[in-house]
């Protein structure tokens, strides 16, 4: 089988060493039905037994290959780290993307060295901006300062409980057992009380698979940096979604875990859209970074926050997250914002077979947020309506947004808090702990995951 395509126009996802478990679907490579004769982008995953150099693989598949094709392809999905040199963790995962007709894809799927072929779909992540004019407000107006934790601090200092009286409502709700009362406060006011442990998230890396992070925002205190982009050299957050979710995980004013390392993995563009291949590449980058970091002093654990997703079952993404969790990474995913069954979406539906946490969203009166997905695939709920957090509009800007995208990072932050205290927790054990600490019987109108995130400190909000 011969193709006219020059391989330098395709994107290699990774040449990465890790554990590759058997796929959920039948082991024979399958390809979705044809959409047009003009062709589509496909993700081709090689079988674990295929060890030959890329040049030999492509030649046998009938591709023409330029001398620099491999380097060009890898760099297109990599920023700041070469993740093709690890040889210490299980079997290799190797995949690439290319444009071809469905008939050619079907022929390629029959090759013994091809594990799976799937269309490289593009997903746009929905988010609701609560009030566009609010983005002109600045963090400096809030007058809140968190005492920075030093790694050399004594244990009694690390265990100290801190109260923030200038918190957004979502932080207050996860640190109290009682429903919030307004007391004259609006949902987007920063006048709520949040209690948390001073050590919250120290030494934990949180990989934000999102639209990027405004790393110059003062509320990140220098703990946020961009480490990967699927868009050439673009490491900016052109949408704001990524900066907002990162703020809920670990910014000084709006964060659940105020000491975490926030690592931006840019897989969404300025329209908050990204391809399946980019998501897979982002997960595998995070995994390779985790494997390098896990033996370093002060390291407590790695979390992937995925406030993104799309319809259907995405086998390559399932495989990537399976490898990550098998390597000890912890994962929080958004349940989706279509007010329908969360089990219809990836990666949300993976929570039924992988130790990841799928999060639904609630409002300030403990009801299901109107757009939140629901069903048995939801593990837990967290506040998701009118959530104020960091913005991409300036170094001090903040704004409110709504969605399961805003609920998911609150859970990721709670996971980071627990990992500092017990870094030996495996993903299944941490998921069980987070769900067990959540409040039962307080939510209204939810189906599935009928518990509300809580840190156990039981403050007065």
Q: Which residues are catalytic?
A: 210, 241, 405
Non-local (6+) Cβ contacts of 349 within 8 A are 313, 342, 343, 358, 377
Is 255 in contact with 197 (CB distance < 8 Å)?
no
Quickly tell me which residue has 């400096």 as its tokens: 140
Is 185 in contact with 191 (CB distance < 8 Å)?
yes
Give the span between the Cα atoms of 457 and 459, in whole angstroms.
6
Helix axes 241-250, 404-421, angle to 10 degrees: 30
Q: Is the peptide bond before 347 cis (omega within 30 degrees of 0)?
A: yes
Is 261 in contact with 206 (CB distance < 8 Å)?
yes
Give the span between the Cα atoms of 390 and 217, in whole angstroms.
8
Helix axes 315-326, 276-293, angle to 10 degrees: 10
324 closest CA partner among 343, 303, 310: 303
Helix axes 69-76, 54-61, angle to 10 degrees: 100
Give the span between the Cα atoms of 442 and 35, in whole angstroms.
46
CA dist 357 to 66, 297, 300, Å? 43, 27, 19
CA dist 302 to 162, 268, 355, Å? 24, 21, 14
Is 352 in contact with 425 (CB distance < 8 Å)?
no
Q: What are φ and ψ of residue 19, in 5° steps?
A: -85, 130
Give the span between the Cα atoms of 461 and 447, in whole angstroms.
26
């Amino acid at each position: 089988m011969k193709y006219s395509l020059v391989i330098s126009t395709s994107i290699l996802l990774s040449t990465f060493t890790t554990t590759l478990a058997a796929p959920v679907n039948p082991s024979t490579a399958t390809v979705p039905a044809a959409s047009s004769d003009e062709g589509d982008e496909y993700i081709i995953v090689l079988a674990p037994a295929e060890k030959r150099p890329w040049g030999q693989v492509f030649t046998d598949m009938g591709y023409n290959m330029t001398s620099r094709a491999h380097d060009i392809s890898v760099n297109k999905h990599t920023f700041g780290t070469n993740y093709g040199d690890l040889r210490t963790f299980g079997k290799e995962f190797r995949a690439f993307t290319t444009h071809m007709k469905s008939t050619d894809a079907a022929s390629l799927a029959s090759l013994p060295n091809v594990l799976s072929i799937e269309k490289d779909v593009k997903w746009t992540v929905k988010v609701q901006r609560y009030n566009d004019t609010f983005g002109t407000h600045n963090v400096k107006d809030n007058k809140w300062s968190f005492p920075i934790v030093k790694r050399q601090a004594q244990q009694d200092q690390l265990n100290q409980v801190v109260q923030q009286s200038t918190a957004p409502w979502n932080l207050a709700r996860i640190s109290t057992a009682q429903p919030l009362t307004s007391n004259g406060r609006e949902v987007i006011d920063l006048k709520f009380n949040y209690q948390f442990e001073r050590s919250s998230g120290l030494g934990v890396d949180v990989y934000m698979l999102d639209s990027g992070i405004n790393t110059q925002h003062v509320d990140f205190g220098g703990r946020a940096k961009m480490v990967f982009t699927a868009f050439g050299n673009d490491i900016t957050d052109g949408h704001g979604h990524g900066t907002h979710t990162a703020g809920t995980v670990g910014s000084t004013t709006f964060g659940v875990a105020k000491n975490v390392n926030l690592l931006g993995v840019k897989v969404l563009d300025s329209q908050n859209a990204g391809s399946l291949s980019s998501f897979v590449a982002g997960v595998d980058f995070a995994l390779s970074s985790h494997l390098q970091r896990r033996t370093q002093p002060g390291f407590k654990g790695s979390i992937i926050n995925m406030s993104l997703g799309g319809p259907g079952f995405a086998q390559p993404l399932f495989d990537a997250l399976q490898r990550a969790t098998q390597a000890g990474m912890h994962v929080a995913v958004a349940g989706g914002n279509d007010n329908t069954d969360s089990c219809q979406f990836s990666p949300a539906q993976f929570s039924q077979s992988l130790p990841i946490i799928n999060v639904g969203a609630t409002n300030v009166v403990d009801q299901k947020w109107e757009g939140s997905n629901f069903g048995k695939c939801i593990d837990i709920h967290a506040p998701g309506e009118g959530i104020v957090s960091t913005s991409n509009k300036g170094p001090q800007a903040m704004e409110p947004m709504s969605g399961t995208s805003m609920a998911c990072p609150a859970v990721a932050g709670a996971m980071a808090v627990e990992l500092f205290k017990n870094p030996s927790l495996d993903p299944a054990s941490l998921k069980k702990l987070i769900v067990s600490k959540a409040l039962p019987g307080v939510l209204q109108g939810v189906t599935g995951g009928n518990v509300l995130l809580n840190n156990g400190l039981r403050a007065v909000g």
